[in-house]
Structure 1
Amino acid sequence: GRAVTDHPANLGQWLSRSQEEEGVYYIVSDWADERRFREFEHSEGHLAHRTRLHPFRSGGSMTTMRVVYAMTGAGTGQ
């Protein structure tokens, strides 16, 4: 994970496992902006990271999103 989260434009990353599909995981990462994410995506460091993970993947897809509104839940204590 540090190959991603150590990048100065990365704001965080989460790994989630599907409760409905065995062996399916989702990664969500948050970036300061799309331009710097794309720079990272095409960097030698990221390509090396993907190469190491490739044997564990059976497929995948990527979607970019923009948060339009966020609300803090009562459980956060904030």
Structure 2
Amino acid sequence: MNHENFEKQLNEWRHYLHSHPESAFEERNISEFLANVLTDMGLEVHRNIGGTGIVANLTVGDGKERYYKY
């Protein structure tokens, strides 16, 4: 996705989120929306953390390689 497309996508998400407000601690639609966006990006998403919270895991590599700067 290039810069212009990403900026357009961000604006669409912002407009959607602002046009669907929810009360504090009742953000079920927003939570589901964000979980779906992150899942579509390829992240592992855990939903319903503490009710409406989400956690997304970004995994890169296997963690065995080390890079040192001398």
TM-score by length of 1: 0.26
Answer with 1 or 2: which has the greater Rg: 2
